[in-house]
Amino acid sequence: MKQVTVRLPTALQSFADGEDQIRVQAGTVGDALAAVDGGRGTLLARVLTPDGAQRPLVKVFLGDADIRTLDGLDSRVREGDVVSIIAAVAGG
Q: Hey, which bits of 1-92 come out as E strands?
A: 2-7, 21-26, 58-62, 65-66, 82-87
Quote the CA–CA distance of 85 and 33 in Å, as a whole number.
9
Please, are residues 8 and 36 in contact by the beta-carbon 8 Å criterion?
yes
| Cα angle 92-69-19, degrees, rounded to a multiple of 5 | 60
Mapping DSSP to helix (H, G, I), strand (E, B) and coil, where does residue 57 land? coil
Architecture label for domain 2-87: Roll (3.10)
The pTM of this model reads: 0.91
Q: pLDDT tens across 40-84, in order?
A: 889 999 999 999 999 999 999 999 999 999 999 999 999 999 999
DSSP class of residue 9 equals -
- Ordered by start, the domain boundaries in the chain are 2-87
